């Protein structure tokens, strides 16, 4: 637990009055218009540096040459079949990533749009697994101000004038607009899921403006948090002596990013909704047979605010109404013709034509008066289709149906409920923001890292509502016996085997590929559907499990039902096998896609839940961390939620996962051994023999399995795994402990003596779950201090995070690409381990390195796109990555859940170990004894062809 003493950090690291005039903050301090003191800040005129991608060294390129050739060939093959490879280092985006992102829009799982701190709408992820990085520049907010009877006018796009071709002679598009904002007196403030943009006298010196962006990300609310909607609330304060007519304008292109607007067939239509909510629907006809998308932009008409629309305008001279003409109308009149509401749907756009729409909200602001104007954006994309053809209904359709016009109801509810959203968000965030013991950078970084749960390519489906096109079943032959049900189909090369147990009920119905529907069945006890999130927007694999190990604390803290649903998905997957052949690119060998008993690396890419293990660099059935991580996450979730039904349901998979791992204890000493290739999450960093990382995870999983068995009343299994733990622990220490830390592995190379930042990952989970420590406190603190002194403080003075590997002489380990990298999520997890060990100063200094390098103004510019890794000189690898969600492991360590704190502590003293049983283990060896006491019959792992 955290001490009551203040940490030795600058208390007010981001005073808002350094960015915004204090008087302006006071004027805007009503109706939520003023930003909070704890927020991530940028001036709008901040230079957005182009981010620098990593490159491999010459020696690394030589080592990976054969992998590179095979990967290049695989990428080309996938492209020839119209698919994207999950990892493609050869294709570069046309739009270069820059340090310009901000809080994304919308809830989780219905597609996402990011919004840069300067106002650009970019990083479009409406189509699953696809990210369009470039902004749609027609999507803007603009303002028009008239004073003194029209003798004094101001007009400007509310974004800095950095658009290419601005004021180009004769242009009919957006460069003809007034881009008068310098951004010098305008600032952006981010505290996910909200953001504030303050315009302090721009463009009108006597008008103070706050734009507040709000999205429905509300922990433990599984309805609102699935909604694809955001609200933009403008607070206007007239500090001048003259009455001002103010018109705000929202423009939006009929596009889902990239060049999608050029495909043609798009239609806009105006609408008048309930409670004064009016706007325009933009029906987008997607390419490549993807499901349709309909946007709604709207404003709320009140007694003081009038709303008008322009349903369609174009960006070229061929359009009936051009962007230039639309702008001129707003400058002249401050509104559009009210008759536009009667226009009906426009003609479908032609190929190459850009179709846009506009909504205007106008009001009068008296001298020293105040006014609020609210806009909303929503999009209806009811169906989500994956590349191999399966289509599902999104979670939000459970509440809004499947009509494309549901966007009207979404914007209505957003504009009428946003104040309640804010109340719920503030209830959640306030205790942490008011905690005087915490450094300020930690508070807002903690919340802002959650951006990934929206912008990380998330998909949330209503698990019980598979779209009709998936319901046709082929004829399948069922072969059943008391040990297993084997399903085969004429058109499938997949043999699927599972135990005749509670974990595989409902298998009688196979889909067209022969996959049992139980893999995607809805868990009625949770009623939250099914959730997917990408490893990263560059590593396109759903729910990558070795990374979820770090990120899952965020879901468990905030959406525990989703976390348990994901664990159930993997528990089912453990008991199945997919025998389709896959070529593993690192070795060039062939193997089967999914091995029974092995935890899959991921839930797939093009056909999630049905075609797992999109990752094909290595054969992950031989990885030594996945099964241990599954067991540890299951136990942590079980202990934290106290959900006995969850524990009972996944227990068969836990036993199967542990039994599968026994094959890797080749010398019978109780410890698993690594196989001399990168057989764990560090998939370029080779390990030999016993390794600190995988060995520590294995020890922790033995203890967790014993504890779970004890709580479930399976005393035989509790005794068995406890004995295994007692046997393995001294062997681990004897082979790896060197007096101050655990060696990287038990090999004889220079690399084997490395100080690995992540070596206590098993102890991290043990402490997080309320289990007894794996080692004595002296060893734990000595190891963590060594990591702090070497991996943290010897690299840029601790201002960049914890490097993965260090040699004992204080040099960064240059054995491979990953050993010399700083992994952002691993750094957070190391800090969490330090907190659990009572090393608070070291913990926050370590984590602050990620803030300083990634989020601060003096850093590299990775805010809201935190990468998997960066090098000592700041070059990134894999932007917008899952693992940095591990910062929530720090919050878990600071404030453990009530169930962990109050549950009866598991003690090994409670497990009775019979002398005969212990002697049998010692005399005959673990594998001989356990083969007679399997959790399941041998048929789980062996199936006749």
Top pLDDT among 398 and 20 is at 398
**What's the rounded Cα separation, in Å, for the pair 246 and 231?**
19
Exposed, middle or buried: residue 162 (CB in 10 Å: 0-12, 13-18, 19+)? middle
Is residue 82 pLDDT above 80, yes or no? yes
Is residue 167 pLDDT above 60, yes or no? no
The 3-state DSSP class for residue 621 equals helix
Is residue 817 pLDDT above 70, yes or no? yes
Residues 600 and 454 in one domain: no
User: Could you say which of 897, 917, 936 is where a domain stops?
Assistant: 897
User: What value does the mean pLDDT of the chain take?
Assistant: 87
Residues 569 and 453 in one domain: no
Residue 511 inside a domain? The answer is no
Residues 451 and 540 in one domain: no
User: Could you say which of 882, 897, 912 is where a domain stops?
Assistant: 897
Residues 449 and 558 in one domain: no
Top pLDDT among 698 and 494 is at 698
What is the pLDDT, as a whole number, of residue 487?
A: 28
Residue 877 inside a domain? The answer is yes
Mean pLDDT computed over 919-942: 36
pLDDT tens per residue, range 331-388: 999 999 999 999 999 999 999 889 999 999 999 999 999 999 999 999 999 999 998 8
What is the pLDDT, as a whole number, of residue 439?
A: 93
What is the pLDDT, as a whole number, of residue 936?
A: 31
- DSSP string for residues in 677-726: S--SSSTTS--EESBHHHHHHHHHHHHHHHHHHHHHT-HHHHHHHHHHHH
480-494, 578-592, 699-713, 842-856: the lowest-pLDDT one = 480-494
**What's the rounded Cα separation, in Å, for the pair 158 and 210?**
11
240-249, 482-491, 825-834: the lowest-pLDDT one = 482-491
Contact status, residue 344 vs residue 337, Cβ threshold 8 Å: no
Residues 447 and 314 in one domain: yes
Residues 807 and 663 in one domain: yes
Residue 334, sorted as left (phi over 0), alpha (psi -120 to 50) or beta, turns out to be left
**What's the rounded Cα separation, in Å, for the pair 753 and 358?**
63
Residues 449 and 562 in one domain: no
β strands within 159-221, DSSP E: 186-191, 194-200, 207-214
Chain centroid to CA 124? 15
12-16, 556-560, 599-603, 722-726: the lowest-pLDDT one = 12-16
Residue 478 inside a domain? The answer is no
Residues 770 and 880 in one domain: yes
Looking at the structure of the chain, the number of domains it has is 2
Residue 710 inside a domain? The answer is yes
Structure tokens that stand for 44 in this block: 């709008």
Residues 762 and 646 in one domain: yes
Instruction: Give phi and psi for 454, each to the nearest 5.
Output: -105, -50
What is the pLDDT, as a whole number, of residue 910?
A: 60
Residue 503 inside a domain? The answer is no
User: Could you say which of 897, 920, 935 is where a domain stops?
Assistant: 897
**What's the rounded Cα separation, in Å, for the pair 905 and 902?**
8
Residue 56 inside a domain? The answer is no
Contact status, residue 440 vs residue 13, Cβ threshold 8 Å: yes
pLDDT tier for residue 10 given thresholds of 50, 70 and 90 = very low
Contact status, residue 101 vs residue 118, Cβ threshold 8 Å: no
Residues 452 and 548 in one domain: no
Top pLDDT among 794 and 913 is at 794
The structure tokens 């006071």 sit at: 26
261-270, 273-282, 826-835: the lowest-pLDDT one = 261-270
Residues 447 and 565 in one domain: no
Is residue 485 pLDDT above 90, yes or no? no
Is residue 930 pLDDT above 90, yes or no? no
Residue 686 inside a domain? The answer is yes
Residue 939 inside a domain? The answer is no
List the domain range (segments joined by +) for residue 383: 18-51+96-163+171-432+442-461
pLDDT tens per residue, range 133-163: 999 999 999 999 999 887 899 999 999 976 5
What is the pLDDT, as a whole number, of residue 483?
A: 32
Mean pLDDT computed over 708-728: 96
Dihedral of the alpha carbons of 873, 877, 879, 883, in degrees to the nearest 10 = -100
**Does the predicted TM-score (pTM) go above 0.75?**
yes
Residues 549 and 453 in one domain: no
Instruction: Give phi and psi for 191, each to the nearest 5.
Output: -145, 90
The CATH number assigned to the domain holding 762 equals 1.50.10.10
**What's the rounded Cα separation, in Å, for the pair 603 and 573?**
9
């Amino acid at each position: 637990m955290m001490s009551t003493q203040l940490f030795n950090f600058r208390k007010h690291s981001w005073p808002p009055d350094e960015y915004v005039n204090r008087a302006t903050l006071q004027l805007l301090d009503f109706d939520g218009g003023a930003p909070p003191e704890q927020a991530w800040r940028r001036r709008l005129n901040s230079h957005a540096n182009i981010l620098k991608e990593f490159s491999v060294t010459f020696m690394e390129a030589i080592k990976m040459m054969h992998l590179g050739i095979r990967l290049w060939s695989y990428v080309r093959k996938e492209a020839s079949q119209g698919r994207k490879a999950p990892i493609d280092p050869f294709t570069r985006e046309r739009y270069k990533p820059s340090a310009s992102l901000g809080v994304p829009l919308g809830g989780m799982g219905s597609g996402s749009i990011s919004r840069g701190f300067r106002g650009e709408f970019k990083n479009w992820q409406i189509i699953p697994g696809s990210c369009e990085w470039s902004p749609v520049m027609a999507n803007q907010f603009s303002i028009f101000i008239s004073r003194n009877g029209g003798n004094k006018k101001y007009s400007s796009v509310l974004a800095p004038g950095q658009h290419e071709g601005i004021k180009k002679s004769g242009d009919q598009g957006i460069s003809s607009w007034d881009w008068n904002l310098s951004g010098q007196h305008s600032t952006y403030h981010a505290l996910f899921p909200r953001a504030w943009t303050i315009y302090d006298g721009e463009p009108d010196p006597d008008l103070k403006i706050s734009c507040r962006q709000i999205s429905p990300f509300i922990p433990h609310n599984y309805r609102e948090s699935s909604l694809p909607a955001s609200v933009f609330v403008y607070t206007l304060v007239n500090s001048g002596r003259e009455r001002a007519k103010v018109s705000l304008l929202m423009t939006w292109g009929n596009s889902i990013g990239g060049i999608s607007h050029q495909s043609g067939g798009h239609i806009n239509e105006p609408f008048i909704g309930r409670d004064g909510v009016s706007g325009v629907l933009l029906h987008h006809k997607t390419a490549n047979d993807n499901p349709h998308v309909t946007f709604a932009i709207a404003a709320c008409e009140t007694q003081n605010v009038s709303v008008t629309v322009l349903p369609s305008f174009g960006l070229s001279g061929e359009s009936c109404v051009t962007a230039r003409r639309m702008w001129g109308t707003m400058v002249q009149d401050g509104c559009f013709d009210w008759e536009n509401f009667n226009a009906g749907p426009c003609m479908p756009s032609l190929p190459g034509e850009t179709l846009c729409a506009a909504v205007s909200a106008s009001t009068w602001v008296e001298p020293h008066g105040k006014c609020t104007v609210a806009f909303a954006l929503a999009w209806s994309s009811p169906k989500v289709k994956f590349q191999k053809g399966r289509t599902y209904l999104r979670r939000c359709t459970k509440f809004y149906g499947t009509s494309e016009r549901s966007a009207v109801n979404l914007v209505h509810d957003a504009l009428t409920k946003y104040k309640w959203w804010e109340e719920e968000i503030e209830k959640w965030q306030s205790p942490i923001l008011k905690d005087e013991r915490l450094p300020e950078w930690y508070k807002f970084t903690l919340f802002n890292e959650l951006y990934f749960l929206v912008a990380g390519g998330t998909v949330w489906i209503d698990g019980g509502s598979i779209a009709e096109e998936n319901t046709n079943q082929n004829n399948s032959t069922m072969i059943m016996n008391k040990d297993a049900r084997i399903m085969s189909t004429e058109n499938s090369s997949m043999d699927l085997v599972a135990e005749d147990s509670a974990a595989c009920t409902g298998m009688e119905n196979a889909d067209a590929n022969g996959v049992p529907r139980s893999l995607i069945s809805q868990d009625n006890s949770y009623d939250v559907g099914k959730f997917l999130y990408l490893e990263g927007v560059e590593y396109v694999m759903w729910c990558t499990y070795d990374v979820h190990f770090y990120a899952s604390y965020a879901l468990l803290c905030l959406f525990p039902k989703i976390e348990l649903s994901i664990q159930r998905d993997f528990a089912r997957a453990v008991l199945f096998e997919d025998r389709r052949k896959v070529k593993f690119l690192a070795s060039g060998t062939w193997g089967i896609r999914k091995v029974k008993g092995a935890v899959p690396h991921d839930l797939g890419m093009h056909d999630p839940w049905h075609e797992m293990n999109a990752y094909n660099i290595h054969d992950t059935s031989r990885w030594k961390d996945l099964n241990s991580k599954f067991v540890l996450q299951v136990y942590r979730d079980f202990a934290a939620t106290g959900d006995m039904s969850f524990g009972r349901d996944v227990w068969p998979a836990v036993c199967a996962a542990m039994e599968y791992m026994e094959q890797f204890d080749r010398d019978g000493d109780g410890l698993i051994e690594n196989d001399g290739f990168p057989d764990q999450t560090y998939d370029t960093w080779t390990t030999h023999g016993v390794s600190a990382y995988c060995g520590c995870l294995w020890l922790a999983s033995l203890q967790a399995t014993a504890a779970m068995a004890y709580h479930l009343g399976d005393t035989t299994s509790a005794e068995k795994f406890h004995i295994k733990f007692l046997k393995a622990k001294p062997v681990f220490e004897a082979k790896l402990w060197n007096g101050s830390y655990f060696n990287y592995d038990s090999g004889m190379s220079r690399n084997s003596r490395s100080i690995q930042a992540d070596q206590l990952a098993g102890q991290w989970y043990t402490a997080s779950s309320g289990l007894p420590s794996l080692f004595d406190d002296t060893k734990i603190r000595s190891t963590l201090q060594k990591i702090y002194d070497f991996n943290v403080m010897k690299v840029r003075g601790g201002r960049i995070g914890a490097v993965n590997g260090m040699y004992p002489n204080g040099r960064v380990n240059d054995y491979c690409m990953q050993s010399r990298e700083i992994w952002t999520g691993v750094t957070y997890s190391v800090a969490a381990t330090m907190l659990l060990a009572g090393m608070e100063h070291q913990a926050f200094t370590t984590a602050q390195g990620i803030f300083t390098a990634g989020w601060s103004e003096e850093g590299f510019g990775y805010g809201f796109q935190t990468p998997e890794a960066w090098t000592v000189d700041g070059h990134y690898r894999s932007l917008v990555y899952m693992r940095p969600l591990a910062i929530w492991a720090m919050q878990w360590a600071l404030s453990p859940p009530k169930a962990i704190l109050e549950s009866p502590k598991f003690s090994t003293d409670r497990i009775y170990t019979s002398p005969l049983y212990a002697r049998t283990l010692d005399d005959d060896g673990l594998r001989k004894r356990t083969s007679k006491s399997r959790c399941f019959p041998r048929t789980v792992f062996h199936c006749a062809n």
